[in-house]
Chains A and B, each alone.
Chain A
Amino acid sequence: MVHVIAEAKAGCSLCFEYLYRQLAGQVASYLRWHRASDPDGLTNDVFAQVHRSFDRFQGDEAGFRSWLFTIAHHRMIDDRRRSSRQPPTRGDAGVEESLGWGDVEEDAFADMSGDQVRDLLAVLSPDQRDVVLLRIVADLSVEEVAELLHKREGAIKALQHRALASLRRHLDRTAAAAG
């Protein structure tokens, strides 16, 4: 991958398309879980910015992923600000429709829906949600998330710990109410 990144940076359009095919789904998923107004369109915007700014990037594959999601995170924040000034749209729906899972994954998560998970994410504070989605969906390390969010690593660990505690507490209450 690091070779492809270098070639894409040097102007190889096929290499850039390869990077897009490898990573755009994860970016779209990250934006979708954040309820972005147009995750697919924003993903294209993110990669357009990557292409424009490639000269400024220096690093390896992990660094590229971190840089890519930094751009995606900032786009998401811009989108959230724009959306707060506009009437709500249906753009945040459709997580299930966008999943490209096979039968095995569908069976494994037969008891869970995207709506349920989205409701659970709403239990978290914005900071906790950022950390959880960056750690899980973007697959970034604590160190990378800390750099992206301009926080200390200890703060990120505390946020993810509180997020897990909040999720468990909410799930316990839900189970108690149901049973």
Chain B
Amino acid sequence: MAWIELTTVDADDILAGQPLPGRADLGAVVEIAAFLRASGAGEPAPPMSTGLLRQIAGWSGS
């Protein structure tokens, strides 16, 4: 397995989607992380199901 020189802080920055100065070799990996992060933050909440709405409203369901 190929290893890469990274500190824990470097890894945190990459996972946060922040480019590391002087580490152009990791630019594509940073882009992947930024893409994943944006997908999570940007995905709208799916519609609430009838079952969940009933449950939180305390309906009996019958």
Contacts and interface: CB of A to CB of B under 8 A. Distances in A.
Interface of A: 11, 13, 16-17, 20-26, 28-30, 32-33, 39-41, 43-44, 47-48, 51-52, 95, 98-101, 105, 108-109, 112, 114, 117, 120, 132-133, 135-139, 142, 157, 160-162, 164-169, 171, 175
Contacts of A117: 32, 35-36, 39
A84 to B, nearest CB: 24
Contacts of A33: 36, 39
Given A21-B45, A160-B11, A160-B15, A168 B36 contact: no
B40 A26 contact: yes
A164 B14 contact: yes
A163 to B, nearest CB: 9
A164 B4 contact: yes
B11 A133 contact: no
A171 to B, nearest CB: 5
Contacts of A169: 2
A3 B41 CA distance: 22
Interface of B: 1-4, 6, 8, 11, 14-15, 17, 25-26, 28-29, 31-49, 51-52, 55-58
B35 A44 contact: no
A100 B3 CA distance: 36
Nearest to A175: B28
B43 A16 contact: no
Given A135-B15, A164-B4, A48 B55 contact: yes
A160 B10 CA distance: 11
Contact of A99 (B43, B45, B48): B43
A13 B56 contact: yes
Contacts of B11: 157, 160-161, 164
A7 to B, nearest CB: 13
A167 B33 CA distance: 10
